[in-house]
């Protein structure tokens, strides 16, 4: 029997986000609340988070770019409401990062510096935010960006290992560390980190994401057997 989700509770709806209708309802509620109260910081950053999900997992491909651009707008609203909190900065970087990674070189060039700036601000405000997510995302930034433009596998590894001090069981951190190690030819260490991602217990708040990352780790570890 399908789980009953309260139709007016955006947090409960978002927990059910693998159901596209639930994710869209949660997004619509936060958007409505923000429109009714433009000073609602929580609705602003939650809207940015929900649009990131829709833009990376939920929506059909042709609609994803628009969701991420709207997520950037919501995150900037959150920052304007309270720049001293990490949420707006982090979800700004997340939405920009998804655009940069998925929609071509022009998007990557457009957002490269802004992504790093937003993550460094998140790190400055709250290093432990979401179990070291800023360090992890910075590590990914240094891995993905070419060395000519500031990328560094050494810095990537350093940041991701730091993130693991806040969340030792983070599926995504182990996966990203494995990618960095694989990229530098450290096959044995990469294999260990892919396996750690597979073995890590899913985080109750991030079940859909962790499931996807575990499947990715299972595919990638085959390359190093």
**Distance separating alpha carbons of residues 178 and 140, to the nearest angstrom:** 11
Region 12-34 average pLDDT: 96
Residue 1 has pLDDT above 80, yes or no: no
Could you report the per-residue pLDDT of 182-204, keeping only the tens digit for each? 999 999 999 999 999 999 999 99
| CATH architecture of the domain with residue range 7-126 | Alpha Horseshoe (1.25)
- Comparing 7-126 with 153-225, is the CATH topology the same? yes
- What percentage of the chain has pLDDT greater than the value 90? 83
CB contact set of 136 (below 8 Å; sequence gap of 6+) = 159, 160, 163, 170, 172, 173, 176
Structure-token pair, residue 156: 């990537």
Residue 33 has pLDDT above 60, yes or no: yes
Query: Domain-by-domain residue ranges, the chain?
Result: 7-126, 153-225
What pTM does this model have?
A: 0.92
Task: Determine the pLDDT at residue 107.
Answer: 59
**Distance separating alpha carbons of residues 175 and 191, to the nearest angstrom:** 10
- Which of the four CATH numbers 1.10.150, 1.25.40, 2.160.20, 1.20.120 does domain 153-225 have? 1.25.40
**Distance separating alpha carbons of residues 120 and 113, to the nearest angstrom:** 11
Q: Give residue 100's pLDDT band: very low, low, confident or very high (50, 70, 90).
A: confident
Q: Give residue 2's pLDDT band: very low, low, confident or very high (50, 70, 90).
A: very low
Q: Which residue has the higher pLDDT, 148 or 159?
A: 159
């Amino acid at each position: 029997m399908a789980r009953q989700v309260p139709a007016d509770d955006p947090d409960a709806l978002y927990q059910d986000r693998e159901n596209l209708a639930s994710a869209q309802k949660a997004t619509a509620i936060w958007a409505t609340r923000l429109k009714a109260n433009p000073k609602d910081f929580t609705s602003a950053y939650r809207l940015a988070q929900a649009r990131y999900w829709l833009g990376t997992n939920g929506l059909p491909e042709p609609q994803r770019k628009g969701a991420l651009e709207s997520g950037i707008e919501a995150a900037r609203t959150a920052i304007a409401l309270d720049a001293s909190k990490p949420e707006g900065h982090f979800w700004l970087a997340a939405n920009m990062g998804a655009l940069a990674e998925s929609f071509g070189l022009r998007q990557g060039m457009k957002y490269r510096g802004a992504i790093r700036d937003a993550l460094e601000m998140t790190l400055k405000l709250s290093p432990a935010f979401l179990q070291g997510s800023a360090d992890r995302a910075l590590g990914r930034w240094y891995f993905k960006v070419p060395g000519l433009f500031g990328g560094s596998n050494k810095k990537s590894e350093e940041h991701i290992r730091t993130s693991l001090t806040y969340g030792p069981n983070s599926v995504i951190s182990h996966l990203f560390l494995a990618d960095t190690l694989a990229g530098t030819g450290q096959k044995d260490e990469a294999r260990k980190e892919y396996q750690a991602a597979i073995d890590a217990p899913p985080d109750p708040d991030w079940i859909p994401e962790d499931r996807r990352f575990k499947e990715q780790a299972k595919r990638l570890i085959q390359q190093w057997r």
